[in-house]
Structure 1
Amino acid sequence: MGKLLWQPSEERINRTNMYRFMNIINEKYGKNFTEYSAFYQWSVENIPDFWASLWDFAEVKASKSYDEVIDDVTKMPGAKWFSGARLNFAENLLRYRDDQTALIFKGEEQVSRKITYAELYDEVAKVAKSLRDMGVKAGDRIVGFMPNMPETIIAMLAATSIGATWSSCSPDFGVKGVLDRFGQIKPKVLFTANGYSFKGKNLDCLERISNILKEISSVEKVVVVPYTEQNADISSVPHAVHYEDFKSSESGLEIEFEQLPFDHPLYIMYSSGTTGLPKCMVQSAGGILIHQLKELILHTDLKREDTIFYFTTCGWMMWNWLTSSLGVGATLVLFDGNPFHPEPGALWKMAQDEKITVFGTSAGYLAALQNAGVKPGKEYDLTPLRALLSTGSPLSIEGFEFVYEEIKKDLQLASISGGTDLNGCFALGNPIGPVYAGELQCRGLAMKVEAFDDNGKPVTGQQGELVCSAPFPSMPIYFWDDPEGKKYHSAYFDVYPNIWRHGDYIEVNDHGGVTIYGRSDATLNPGGVRIGTAEIYRQVEQLEEIEDSLVVGQSWKNDVRVILFVKMAQGKALTEELMNKIRQTIRVNASPRHVPAKILDVPDILYTLNMKKVELAVKKVIEGKPVLNKDALKNPEILDYYASIKELQED
């Protein structure tokens, strides 16, 4: 167990949605739950009762209720959820039509823009009418190549109100990256901004859209949203129309929400695509709705009076997750741009100005803040802030301590982990429980998450494969263009029949907390002993001389040797003395097996566009294997450097 960093007061616990829901369960089922672990155990043993109770608690809007919660709780994949129900995802997110602020949008160096719930409804109604007028119907695909701005949410809600299926990429994707995604699903309408901003520079989107459309013949209309300029020249873009000209000019429109089955396709999400063409995961309207409401209402303790922010792009599932906060009636803060522009504390100034109560970001961003010497708690007034969420990669113990030392002492820090595949979390925050350094607070309610050892048996207190051994509503309903379900099955169910294997290497401890050790396909096996890469990152990245690092296992002489790549901090050099310091730090604080065989200085660390370290592609190039799809990478040009390192061919 890590060091105890925070414990909620009894008064705070009693005010939470989790506490209220637990007491409803106590009353309804004659239980006496007072803390999370017993409540969690009940939820995984009584999955239909849990989800039926949550349906009522979250006040899911449906024109027809369900006949049964789940047809077979032992079936995975393929369990049928909430059969008989008829509902609409957008209707659940647009349940409020008042003057409370729904969206606050802040672009780089721009004045923030605010939209009320009433204005949001009216805007969605206008776009939905125009989509209907051009023949969009349930099942059509509508896509966004958009920054994280209000019009992206408006387009998504308008599309899903009709029952169309939404998919999005962020505008930093290259032409091939977009074609690899949208080209597979043949969209009817594409929403794009004319451009976007990054580090104070305006970047054009329309030329890329013109090139994309040469390859996607299904697009009948391109709706261009003004962002970096008001009236961009769209003459070179086929089927293009300005957003203001596209949306209906009628006022006082009522949205006609199509009432659809629980498992109607809502979103198409994509795997990272670093090992081939991205897999297109189709997710259901009801499944995403109820799963994300569970995570927001219970695990994040989100309420109507909250202002929630997540630093994300529209190419990452955290955008979809954040958007469901509308279903709670909270105020959402959308940010587009570089988080260190115009100064390193830009997001914290925004948190101060907009009185953000729930602040979501990535572990990488928190590490970058720490390295830059930013002390948000001392530099900004963060009085309203009560929860900080971190995801994308494991947050180190030092990262946890940094949050409590330099951001805020009385704060729930929820390190959360799940995936695009489920558009949610396996392990996340618990507002009625303590925070220990380096640990995710709990496994999600009704998520039967376990760590399996090499024999496929659940273990506590030791590392193993993250599995989920019971179905959950937000599982993909199918993969696109996978009629026999072979891609779907091989993605999760090939290793353990009827059990979801996620590909993370974790430990579940005796009090229910979870530690993530990295991707299981990137675990290191020197001498046949499995080591999580996160254990090495934790040691290396606390050294002030190191800005960033990447660890891979290189196949070498019938074994695996650990290779550590380091990007040096400005003005620092990788000397023999520093290498010895790195080795000693790893040996003492991790183990002798963790010590790398080679430590090499590199100009940059490889990341995906969603800012996740890419270990497998680097492993491939240093072993002379091809990397098939570089368009999901933020900086693919650096692979040539890794491939040319001569020292990796030597003892």
Structure 2
Amino acid sequence: MYQFMQYVNDRYGKSFRTYSDLYQWSISDIPDFWGAVWDYGQIIHSVPYTQVVDDATKLPGARWFVGAKLNFAENLLRYRDDHVALSFRTEGTPTVRITYAELYDRVARLARAFRDMGLQVGDRVAGFMPNMIETVVAMLATTSVGAIWSSCSPDFGIKGVLDRFGQIQPRVLFTPNGYSYSGKKIDSLERIAEVVQQIPSIEKVVVVPNTDPHPDPTRVPNGILFEDFLAKEKGLEIEFEQLPADHPVYIMYSSGTTGVPKCIVHGAGGTLIQHIKELKLHTDLKREDTIFYFTTCGWMMWNWLVSSLALGAHVLLYDGSPFYPRPDAMWKMAEEERISIFGTSAKYLAAVEKAHVKPKESFDLTPLKAILSTGSPLSIESFEFVYRDIKEDLCLSSISGGTDIISCFALGNPIGPVYAGELQCRGLGMKVQAFNDEGKPVMGEKGELVCTAAAPSMPISFWNDPDGKKYRNAYFELYPGIWSHGDYIEITENEGVIIYGRSDATLNPGGVRIGTAEIYRQVENIPEVLDSLVIGQEWDNDVRVILFLKLREGFELTEELQKRIKTMIRENTTPRHVPGKIIAVPDIPYTISGKKVELAVRKVIHNQEVKNKDALANPEALDYYKDLEALKS
């Protein structure tokens, strides 16, 4: 980050000394900033751009790197040496490693197989895959020939897969024979056989051995083993299709908890430059680093992680439960693999603390220089836990963005201080503000997260949305011409960001806006509580705050416990935050990518239909919230 600031000073005759100086310039001189990132990030291209952006105030519809031609996979495969590119670990099996040279060779053989079957620019390839080496190979081969990659994790149900891949009609589907979770082996081929019968566009199903070294590909229509599908020749050169910067590279999906998932199309150039900016500058990723993110292939953090290949780093892939066989399993792996950048979720860090794991007492984490956390707001207590019980000298970066921009609005700053409870900074080039109810920007007050200028990783379109209506409705309905993200935030005096939760799940008792994260922050401190969920119930012409608790084994929701929780919330927030009702439930529903589904529970308690339960990791949990007697009085 500091080196980049000096680069900008030299290039443009500036004298920036702080991140704040650099940030303000990056959002006021948007073309100059992104032009500098293009060169500093060494974007490989065959034709240079004629214009960085045609109109940064045009939202949606700004065009980036007009005239440029490039290939996404070529940028991720710039290194072809004996440095380890990818390592793969799963539950109870030896680590598999592959060098940059070996990765290039495997991608070349798969790309040739794609060309031999006539795969065209713009065709779709889908991965129903674990986070493993073959998934990365498949994505790189797909994008090398100009086809579009789309993936979800193998724990999705049949309907969840059909809701996603059924919309985009892929020609090739990659699947494992099965996957492992918490010591159990789960078969994938039975579900895929059913999926293939309902998506007629699929011509080939490439079966990847995972839980069984010799699976039977004939169990699925048009099935072939991964190794049998690869071209047989070695030493092939990849023909990287040269395409416009806004050529589609990925199709991502909204969570789909309120209806069929939206198919979000991302462009190659915008995704690539944003990831390089975030990894190289905001994460300080270098060639000698080992970067790990606990993610599935259904979450945009997978796409973000894999872009680390463009910087030549060692990327560690893990698939399975983070608590198998013990709660400290990931920290043992961090020691063994010498992880320097460890990415996870706020939920995981809170769970590790609840399990009384103290990694610094048991493991040598000398190489660890950064911990990244996303998925939900990271509590002040989790910040304290990291610095107290994991490592004192590291950069803890709470980061936040979304599938929608396949990157971050706010994230880490390696040359800035860390304040507990805050994301360090707004991302370079991201003109992020908090708007109050009057649509005016505010500092030090809560408001709606908006982005008032275009950014290169905003979607190029939604799939099957020819007039752009779905896209406009998703982000530009609240404030026309301004991106509204749906997060409820505060920009602090430190120029950091506090996230209070989703604005569509914001509670409004007595007309006062309350973010759910403010309540979660208090409840996480109660030792008897394993997990919690807060929603607003329409009650007596107002909103009543309802707090659902999943308690640790052996504990009950006594009056004394309820009183203690209410007192803690009242003393540390405001009387309006205090729940009208506290109710014990056996489970809290989550999406497959690990986010609490407040809106779905809110629908259930108001007797409204939840349309798409297949997006949930534990859809049966919603049944606990139906017709609750406690909510009738």
Q: Which TM class, normalised by the smaller chain length?
A: over 0.9
Question: Which of residues 387, 390, 404 in structure 1 aligns to 2:387?
Answer: 404
C-alpha separation between the residues in 2 aligned to 1:68 and 1:632? Answer: 40
C-alpha separation between the residues in 1 aligned to 2:457 and 2:279? Answer: 14
Question: Which of residues 599, 608, 629 in structure 2 aligns to 1:616?
Answer: 599
Match of 1:394 in 2: 377
Q: Following TM superposition, by how much is the alpha carbon of 1:557 offset from its aligned partner in structure 2, in angstroms? A: 1.4
C-alpha separation between the residues in 2 aligned to 1:486 and 1:354? Answer: 47
Q: Match of 2:558, as an amino acid?
A: T
Post-superposition Cα deviations, 1:467-491, rounded to whole Å, max 9, x if no partner, equal 0000000010000000000000000
Match of 1:307 in 2: 290
C-alpha separation between the residues in 2 aligned to 1:29 and 1:243? Answer: 50
Match of 2:43 in 1: 60
Q: Is the 8 A contact 1:196 1:227 kept in 2?
A: yes
C-alpha separation between the residues in 2 aligned to 1:148 and 1:88? Answer: 23
Match of 1:555 in 2: 538
C-alpha separation between the residues in 2 aligned to 1:187 and 1:135? Answer: 13
Q: Does residue 225 of the first structure (1) align with residue 197 of the second (2)?
A: no
C-alpha separation between the residues in 2 aligned to 1:230 and 1:105? Answer: 15
C-alpha separation between the residues in 2 aligned to 1:236 and 1:104? Answer: 29
Q: Match of 2:219, as an amino acid?
A: S
Q: Does residue 648 of the first structure (1) align with residue 631 of the second (2)?
A: yes
Question: Which of residues 46, 52, 55 in structure 2 aligns to 1:72?
Answer: 55
Q: Does residue 343 of the first structure (1) align with residue 321 of the second (2)?
A: no
Q: For residues 334-373 of structure 1, what are the structure 2 equivalents within 5 Å?
A: 334-373=317-356
C-alpha separation between the residues in 2 aligned to 1:100 and 1:236? Answer: 37
C-alpha separation between the residues in 2 aligned to 1:29 and 1:637? Answer: 58
Query: For this pair of structures, how many residues does the alignment match?
Result: 633
C-alpha separation between the residues in 1 aligned to 2:144 and 2:129? Answer: 19
Which SS does the other structure have where 2:615 is aligned?
coil
Q: Following TM superposition, by how much is the alpha carbon of 1:377 offset from its aligned partner in structure 2, in angstroms? A: 1.1
Which SS does the other structure have where 1:550 is aligned?
strand
C-alpha separation between the residues in 1 aligned to 2:179 and 2:278? Answer: 31
Which SS does the other structure have where 1:230 is aligned?
coil
Q: Is the 8 A contact 1:467 1:500 kept in 2?
A: yes
Relative to the length of structure 2, the TM-score reads 1.00
Post-superposition Cα deviations, 1:10-64, rounded to whole Å, max 9, x if no partner, equal xxxxxxxx00000011112221111111110010000000000000000000001
Q: For residues 340-489 of structure 1, what are the structure 2 equivalents within 5 Å?
A: 340-489=323-472
Q: Is the 8 A contact 1:37 1:511 kept in 2?
A: no
Which SS does the other structure have where 2:240 is aligned?
coil
Question: Which of residues 236, 246, 253 in structure 2 aligns to 1:270?
Answer: 253
Q: Match of 2:86, as an amino acid?
A: L
Q: For residues 185-200 of structure 1, what are the structure 2 equivalents within 5 Å?
A: 185-200=168-183
Which SS does the other structure have where 1:319 is aligned?
helix
Q: Following TM superposition, by how much is the alpha carbon of 1:106 offset from its aligned partner in structure 2, in angstroms? A: 0.4
Q: Is the 8 A contact 2:149 2:250 kept in 1?
A: yes
Q: Match of 2:454, as an amino acid?
A: P
Q: Match of 1:641, as an amino acid?
A: Y
Which SS does the other structure have where 1:166 is aligned?
strand
Which SS does the other structure have where 1:352 is aligned?
helix
Deviates more, 1:166-175 or 1:635-644: 635-644
Deviates more, 1:227-236 or 1:147-156: 227-236
Q: Match of 1:632, as an amino acid?
A: A
Q: Following TM superposition, by how much is the alpha carbon of 1:625 offset from its aligned partner in structure 2, in angstroms? A: 0.8
Which SS does the other structure have where 1:599 is aligned?
strand
C-alpha separation between the residues in 2 aligned to 1:461 and 1:316? Answer: 31
Match of 1:142 in 2: 125
Q: Match of 1:451, as an amino acid?
A: A
Deviates more, 1:32-41 or 1:141-150: 32-41
Which SS does the other structure have where 2:613 is aligned?
coil
Q: Is the 8 A contact 2:489 2:498 kept in 1?
A: yes
Moved over 6 A (4+): none
Q: Is the 8 A contact 1:101 1:117 kept in 2?
A: yes
C-alpha separation between the residues in 1 aligned to 2:297 and 2:410? Answer: 23
C-alpha separation between the residues in 2 aligned to 1:313 and 1:641? Answer: 27
Which SS does the other structure have where 1:436 is aligned?
coil
Q: Match of 1:527, as an amino acid?
A: G
Which SS does the other structure have where 1:613 is aligned?
coil
Cα RMSD after superposing both structures: 0.6
C-alpha separation between the residues in 2 aligned to 1:271 and 1:429? Answer: 24
Q: Match of 1:497, as an amino acid?
A: P
Which SS does the other structure have where 2:614 is aligned?
coil
Q: For residues 510-529 of structure 1, what are the structure 2 equivalents within 5 Å?
A: 510-529=493-512
Match of 2:528 in 1: 545
Q: Following TM superposition, by how much is the alpha carbon of 1:234 offset from its aligned partner in structure 2, in angstroms? A: 2.3
Which SS does the other structure have where 1:132 is aligned?
helix
Q: Match of 1:84, as an amino acid?
A: G
Q: Match of 2:99, as an amino acid?
A: T
Q: For residues 615-634 of structure 1, what are the structure 2 equivalents within 5 Å?
A: 615-634=598-617
Q: Match of 2:195, as an amino acid?
A: I
C-alpha separation between the residues in 2 aligned to 1:445 and 1:235? Answer: 50
Q: Match of 2:536, as an amino acid?
A: G
C-alpha separation between the residues in 2 aligned to 1:245 and 1:97? Answer: 24
Q: Does residue 499 of the first structure (1) align with residue 470 of the second (2)?
A: no
Q: Is the 8 A contact 2:218 2:224 kept in 1?
A: no
Post-superposition Cα deviations, 1:74-121, rounded to whole Å, max 9, x if no partner, equal 101000100110000000000000000000100101111110000000
Q: Is the 8 A contact 1:371 1:544 kept in 2?
A: yes
Question: Which of residues 119, 124, 128 in structure 1 aligns to 2:111?
Answer: 128
Q: Is the 8 A contact 2:203 2:222 kept in 1?
A: yes
Post-superposition Cα deviations, 1:115-173, rounded to whole Å, max 9, x if no partner, equal 00000000000011001100101100001000000000000000000000000010000
Q: Match of 2:330, as an amino acid?
A: L
Q: Does residue 568 of the first structure (1) align with residue 551 of the second (2)?
A: yes
Q: Does residue 152 of the first structure (1) align with residue 138 of the second (2)?
A: no
C-alpha separation between the residues in 1 aligned to 2:41 and 2:475? Answer: 29
Q: Match of 2:157, as an amino acid?
A: G
Identity %: 66
Match of 1:290 in 2: 273
C-alpha separation between the residues in 2 aligned to 1:542 and 1:215? Answer: 47
Q: Does residue 97 of the first structure (1) align with residue 73 of the second (2)?
A: no
Question: Which of residues 16, 21, 33 in structure 1 aligns to 2:4?
Answer: 21
Q: Following TM superposition, by how much is the alpha carbon of 1:644 offset from its aligned partner in structure 2, in angstroms? A: 2.8
Match of 1:4 in 2: none
Q: Following TM superposition, by how much is the alpha carbon of 1:365 offset from its aligned partner in structure 2, in angstroms? A: 0.3
Relative to the length of structure 1, the TM-score reads 0.97
Q: Match of 1:461, as an amino acid?
A: G
Q: Does residue 180 of the first structure (1) align with residue 163 of the second (2)?
A: yes
Q: Following TM superposition, by how much is the alpha carbon of 1:194 offset from its aligned partner in structure 2, in angstroms? A: 0.5
C-alpha separation between the residues in 1 aligned to 2:55 and 2:227? Answer: 48
Q: Match of 1:513, as an amino acid?
A: G
C-alpha separation between the residues in 1 aligned to 2:559 and 2:163? Answer: 44
Post-superposition Cα deviations, 1:446-500, rounded to whole Å, max 9, x if no partner, equal 1000000000000000000000000000010000000000000000001101100
Q: Does residue 163 of the first structure (1) align with residue 146 of the second (2)?
A: yes
Q: Match of 1:627, as an amino acid?
A: V
Post-superposition Cα deviations, 1:541-580, rounded to whole Å, max 9, x if no partner, equal 1110100000000011110000000000121111000000
Q: Following TM superposition, by how much is the alpha carbon of 1:640 offset from its aligned partner in structure 2, in angstroms? A: 1.4
Question: Which of residues 563, 566, 574 in structure 2 aligns to 1:583?
Answer: 566
Q: Following TM superposition, by how much is the alpha carbon of 1:340 offset from its aligned partner in structure 2, in angstroms? A: 0.4
Match of 1:81 in 2: 64
Post-superposition Cα deviations, 1:188-243, rounded to whole Å, max 9, x if no partner, equal 00011110000111110000000001110000000000011111122231100011
